[in-house]
């Protein structure tokens, strides 16, 4: 099976692993958002959702392990690609171009938004994960209220969500492109979907603490 390793250590192979793991995170973001939107049903609905989720038991563990593995792959490759790409142009241009119009703010900042997201995930898990935070004495709603009442944390969270949105704005269409899904009829839609999805992520997740604080 060394051929698998060899294939996926090519530049395209690495990128496709990035893309597939990235798509996995997009899927996760979607379910995460859908689930969390139960907040709008009030505290009982939100708590019930959390309990249903935890009731999945082993299935949840499998999903969690899957996400962690995907994260390790995504981050490791990101670091490798970042340094490889820096090395590929040892002498920089005196004039950094302006006005070409290919790069976007999102695409330019992918490695940095990625790094910020990694930090955010750590903070987010330490404040919410049932593996870390004791959820037996307080339910998830109470925990959320407590956390979001801290101004600093609220700011970090909102910033984190924004960073995720920018990462996703390039990541979504880019992942499709990288796995080869570029078709003249569908690509314009996927391009737009990237932006729409990013906005949904920003508004969807961004509104959650506000809803929680309003409902408390």
Residue numbers of the site for other proteins (CB under 8 A)? 3, 6-8, 10-16, 81, 84-85, 87-103, 107-108, 110, 170, 173-174, 177-184, 187
Shortest distance, CB of residue 87 to other proteins, whole angstroms?
7
The secondary structure of residue 181, as a DSSP letter, is -
Distance of CA 205 to the CA centre of its chain: 11
Helices 151-178, 140-148: crossing angle, 10 deg rounding: 110
Let me know: does 178 contact 18? Beta carbons within 8 Å: yes
Tokens 């990013």 -> residue: 198
Nearer to other proteins, 57 or 99 (CB): 99
Tokens 């019930």 -> residue: 48
CA distances from 177 to 9, 68, 73, 203 (A): 19, 24, 19, 25
* 3-state percent helix, strand, coil for the chain, nearest multiple of 5: 80, 0, 20
Shortest distance, CB of residue 118 to other proteins, whole angstroms?
17
Provide the residue count of the chain. Answer: 216
Nearer to other proteins, 157 or 173 (CB): 173
Shortest distance, CB of residue 84 to other proteins, whole angstroms?
6
Shortest distance, CB of residue 180 to other proteins, whole angstroms?
3
Shortest distance, CB of residue 182 to other proteins, whole angstroms?
3
Nearer to other proteins, 1 or 152 (CB): 1
Shortest distance, CB of residue 63 to other proteins, whole angstroms?
25
Burial class of residue 176 in the structure, from the number of CB atoms within 10 Å of its CB (0-12 exposed, 13-18 middle, 19+ buried)? buried
Nearer to other proteins, 38 or 191 (CB): 191
Nearer to other proteins, 40 or 186 (CB): 186
Nearer to other proteins, 183 or 216 (CB): 183
């Amino acid at each position: 099976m060394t051929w698998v390793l060899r294939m996926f250590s090519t530049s395209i192979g690495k990128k496709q692993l990035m893309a597939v793991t990235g798509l996995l995170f997009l899927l996760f973001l979607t379910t995460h958002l859908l689930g969390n939107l139960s907040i709008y049903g009030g505290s009982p609905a939100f708590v019930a959702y959390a309990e249903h989720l935890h009731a999945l038991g082993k299935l949840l563990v499998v999903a969690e392990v899957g996400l962690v593995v995907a994260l390790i792959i995504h981050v490791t490759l990101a670091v490798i690609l970042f340094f490889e790409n820096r090395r590929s142009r040892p002498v920089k241009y005196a004039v950094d171009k302006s006005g070409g119009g290919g790069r976007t703010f999102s695409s330019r900042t992918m490695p940095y938004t990625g790094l910020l997201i990694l930090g955010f995930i750590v903070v987010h898990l330490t404040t919410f994960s049932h593996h870390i935070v004791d959820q037996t004495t307080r339910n998830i709603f109470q925990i959320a209220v407590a956390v979001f009442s801290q101004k600093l944390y609220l700011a970090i969270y909102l910033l984190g969500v924004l960073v995720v949105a920018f990462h996703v704005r390039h990541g979504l269409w880019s992942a499709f492109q990288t796995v080869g899904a570029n078709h003249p009829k569908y690509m314009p839609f996927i391009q737009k979907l990237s932006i729409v999805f990013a906005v949904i992520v920003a508004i969807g997740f961004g509104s959650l603490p506000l809803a929680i604080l309003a409902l408390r």
